[in-house]
Structure 1
């Protein structure tokens, strides 16, 4: 192997590429010897173009070891050149503006190239001022949007930033505050859009977190400054945690290691699990850190809420992670089970995991399991104060239910679907009974899936059955009945399915599940009201019966009969499936027609 390497090196030393590189490096003049700045710019531009040509050659023919060797030897030559103690500082400073970008592009070839690029950047850090290098490396990061292998490209500058940050001695907070958004924007871009391996990227991102921690921890007698630093570091850690969870394979050991390290730092920042899922306010923290200009930085903090939720979910997944964060998950779960307001807040935060498309199903599954822990079984119910605060939590709870609904619809795992449905029912049960019907109707209205609509309509029917069975109590010979679900809104819900707002009868057989569920709900309502001799919903009024009969049921019967006749003469699979789908619907439809006709005779 050593003989092969020696021959490859010798091959490069005698090549035209080496001759050109030597010529360019020898022509790098001292600033005080240059009368024309254009000559200076042309020299470094030629160096960058030369490196780009080697890079293109290596990428265009990835199996050509000779071209790859030429590229690596060229980087090695540049490294030796920069390390030279006789090199003029002004030349080093000038090279530092362009060379980090040029050499970082090679990181996508292999880890060997990435390590060499890091070594070259380390030399610049050693020879140039840390504040200047921080600016240069941030500029290098910003260039990643123009590079094909962006994830590999940003590893060397990220590595450099982690070293530069701990070397800065003045205006530390200001420097870090300006650097963090640049880093986070680049991390977000590569983690959510790149198909490359991201383990090395986040290794460097965590190194930066450790560097900030080191700077913060060394502050002496500056409590206010340390607190702002901790807040800034907390924002960085939470955003990184969300991006790690989305960008690194859940099953990879590196993912767990990264989460573990971030959790330790999160604990240092004073971010408790309970505060993260209940009261942590990104806007407030960002205002404290960035001041009046916080709006300029919010884009880089777009996944902080996801990070808050994921911090807790990772603690739920791994006892080691919870221990690193100095948390007891049993205490956290008990607190959420026993405090409805905090539970509502937590549900509103955890929805971010379920709605985050880039996250793996495994994390969503664990989120559902955690929600099941805090919403299922013997949990503390409503009280007057919590009822009065419902309106402020309603939007978040509704969007959480929407997220759970989407999991039910799209998860490939039957067990996960079952647990998600249990969570849906648990969250609904946690909502004040007076608001529950409105929430269910809103969920149905905002659902396109016929099967999901059917499930939600059936939940309405179950709630009505429970309510009518258990809400009647006798107090001093007077009946007091809570009929929150037994209102005309139920008939409006049925109408929206049997006679869609866009006009015409429902589309069959596509909407057959929803239509069947709506017919079953109507049948249940009319039979229950008839048996109990009540009319809470208005279902037994003559006007309602006529409307249902003429505008809902008869047009639907015409449609169903036509489709059935049309498909009975066909024997292909589609026709058979259509008949099988419509058969139960037809039976319930005719039963509803019979019930309405019977009631119309009674009110005539």
Structure 2
């Protein structure tokens, strides 16, 4: 096969002639039956030629000549691949390397994107989806060596969205192989790239989600349910990555968030289940079994964040909630009236507050949602000994630590104030017999003198409340505020240990002043309160 005459011309005739020579060499070797023996040399020469054009264009991004030469070269290769007379042996050999080579050029200019996608589409048609699945996954893996990785991965991601739709047999197994690779690349690229570079990336990530959704509809029974579960994991991971990589705008919601919310609804992931009972490890094990557990856990590292953020986005935007077919008012009411589910939700929403890459605006909305389910009007059971409480201790303590970090580092005073209210609300949800131990643990795990002072002041207020409650019970006899007896959990020797912890630090010597002055003053006030209360016989 001879190369068809080009519709455009290269400014540099030597460049044009070199490309024509390489392509004609591939064709002649195939016609002579010698291509198999020389394919490595022929393909390598073409890749090296393209790399030289890429280097020339990247070294001088203001040079239109270099960019135009590169564009004409890729266009020429596209015409060559599209030719109906091209030998299949040549196509097979080029399919291993050209997806990488042409995807690199997208970093120069967006006008290369459609060309690169079209070339990959031709390989999918001519080589088959099963072969191209592994080739495109390999192409994605090469992104770690590319400077503009966000632009580079868009063509292979676009190709994978079509490959997944085209596979006719063992669809679940093929998707199960591809998804961890895709998610690992998305995470690496999205958390290291600028927002402007990521719009096309997330658009293609959503295309892949839609493709998996279409594949689900072709399957039946157990296989369908497994793929739906895998799709849910994929959507939640993408939700977290999208949320962390975009600038929050109060006036609009990213289209990718809307589309992911719609797909999550298909997966049966209700807002209530996402913040209460959704267990990533159990779902992942149901999909992957025991195979390569560590690898799978890594690619789903932000699924919990995505689950929480799905609800936060529903809180932010009525459009998102409607797309997900959710009623936020009903969900808030359920969480306000069910203490166990509220504990679960608090433990899930903490992931939003811990997410370093997340915009403060979204953390603010997470705090607003927490505030709505932990305020003074919620249903609390202080009297009943809850056997399940111990299983929620680590999660709630971690949530309190997360809220503490927002109080310390939030840029806006209003957000810090709301976070402090949430902190008190979560503490109020903890059984009386356990609350002092939790607060003591918060103090011992805090380095900030100001925060230690705040926690000690909360302890003093708890003691004061206990005294007032005790007096009321003795005086009035009937049960008050669900308390049938005086609460003495805060009146114990641990209070003096708390004071000593601040005034006589474990590392020895007196407290460091003035650095620890807030904590010291608060500890002295607590000690004074204890002495005055006991001397008065209260």
TM-score tier, shorter chain, comes to over 0.9
Per-residue deviation, 1:255: 5.6
Per-residue deviation, 1:52: 0.8
CA distance in 1, matches of 2:101, 2:455: 58
Question: What is the aligned partner in structure 2 of residue 371 from structure 1?
Answer: 370
* RMSD (Å), alpha carbons: 2.0
CA contact (8 A) 1:249 1:255 kept: no
User: Which of 469, 475, 498 matches 1:493?
Assistant: 498
CA distance 1:480–1:89, change in 2 (3 Å): closer
What's the secondary structure of 2:240's corresponding residue?
Answer: helix
TM-score of the two chains, using structure 2 as the length reference: 0.94
| Residue 191 (1) aligns with residue 190 (2) | yes
Question: What is the aligned partner in structure 1 of residue 15 from structure 2?
Answer: 17
Question: What is the aligned partner in structure 2 of residue 267 from structure 1?
Answer: 265
CA distance 1:384–1:27, change in 2 (3 Å): farther
CA contact (8 A) 1:245 1:359 kept: yes
Larger Cα Rg: Structure 1 or Structure 2?
1
| Residue 425 (1) aligns with residue 424 (2) | yes
1:92-171 equivalent positions in 2, closer than 5 A: 92-171=91-170
Question: What is the aligned partner in structure 2 of residue 569 from structure 1?
Answer: none
Question: What is the aligned partner in structure 2 of residue 218 from structure 1?
Answer: 218
Give unpaired runs (5+ residues) of structure 1: 1-7, 534-604
CA contact (8 A) 1:199 1:254 kept: no
User: Which of 227, 231, 234 matches 2:232?
Assistant: 234
CA distance in 2, matches of 1:405, 1:476: 38
Per-residue deviation, 1:480: 5.4
CA contact (8 A) 1:244 1:255 kept: no
* Range with bigger deviation, 401-410 or 18-27: 18-27
CA distance in 1, matches of 2:433, 2:367: 26
CA contact (8 A) 1:166 1:211 kept: yes
Per-residue deviation, 1:503: 0.7
CA distance in 1, matches of 2:354, 2:253: 21
CA contact (8 A) 2:432 2:487 kept: no
1:411-560 equivalent positions in 2, closer than 5 A: 411-472=410-471, 473-474=473-474, 481-532=486-537
Question: What is the aligned partner in structure 1 of residue 277 from structure 2?
Answer: 279
CA distance in 1, matches of 2:417, 2:391: 29
CA distance in 1, matches of 2:522, 2:417: 19
CA distance 1:436–1:477, change in 2 (3 Å): closer
Question: What is the aligned partner in structure 1 of residue 408 from structure 2?
Answer: 409
Instruction: Show CA shifts across 1:76-101 (max 9, x none).
Output: 01001101111001111110000000
Per-residue deviation, 1:42: 1.1
CA contact (8 A) 2:10 2:72 kept: no
What's the secondary structure of 2:474's corresponding residue?
Answer: strand
Per-residue deviation, 1:385: 5.7
Question: What is the aligned partner in structure 1 of residue 209 from structure 2?
Answer: 209
User: Which of 244, 256, 264 matches 1:246?
Assistant: 244
Question: What is the aligned partner in structure 1 of residue 3 from structure 2?
Answer: none
Give unpaired runs (5+ residues) of structure 2: 1-6, 479-483
CA distance in 2, matches of 1:35, 1:88: 12
1:287-326 equivalent positions in 2, closer than 5 A: 287-293=285-291, 295=293, 296-326=295-325
Per-residue deviation, 1:475: 8.1
Per-residue deviation, 1:287: 1.2
Per-residue deviation, 1:405: 0.2
Per-residue deviation, 1:37: 5.2
Per-residue deviation, 1:124: 1.1
TM-score of the two chains, using structure 1 as the length reference: 0.84
What's the secondary structure of 2:291's corresponding residue?
Answer: helix
CA distance in 1, matches of 2:351, 2:418: 18
CA contact (8 A) 1:152 1:201 kept: yes
Higher relative contact order structure (alpha carbons within 8 Å, sequence separation ≥ 6):
2
What's the secondary structure of 2:289's corresponding residue?
Answer: helix
Question: What is the aligned partner in structure 2 of residue 399 from structure 1?
Answer: 398
Question: What is the aligned partner in structure 2 of residue 336 from structure 1?
Answer: 335
CA distance in 2, matches of 1:493, 1:420: 24
CA contact (8 A) 1:245 1:255 kept: no
CA contact (8 A) 1:287 1:294 kept: no
Instruction: Show CA shifts across 1:87-137 (max 9, x none).
Output: 001111110000000000111112101221111111111211111111111
Instruction: Show CA shifts across 1:130-153 (max 9, x none).
Output: 111111111100111111111110
CA distance in 2, matches of 1:476, 1:394: 34
How many residue pairs get aligned? The number is: 524
What's the secondary structure of 2:511's corresponding residue?
Answer: coil
CA contact (8 A) 1:340 1:386 kept: no
CA distance in 1, matches of 2:523, 2:30: 83
CA distance in 1, matches of 2:124, 2:399: 48
CA distance in 1, matches of 2:246, 2:52: 32
CA contact (8 A) 1:59 1:109 kept: yes
Per-residue deviation, 1:251: 2.4
CA distance in 1, matches of 2:353, 2:477: 49
Per-residue deviation, 1:194: 2.3
Per-residue deviation, 1:218: 2.6
CA contact (8 A) 1:234 1:271 kept: yes
CA distance in 2, matches of 1:480, 1:139: 67
CA distance in 1, matches of 2:183, 2:346: 26
CA distance in 2, matches of 1:70, 1:244: 35
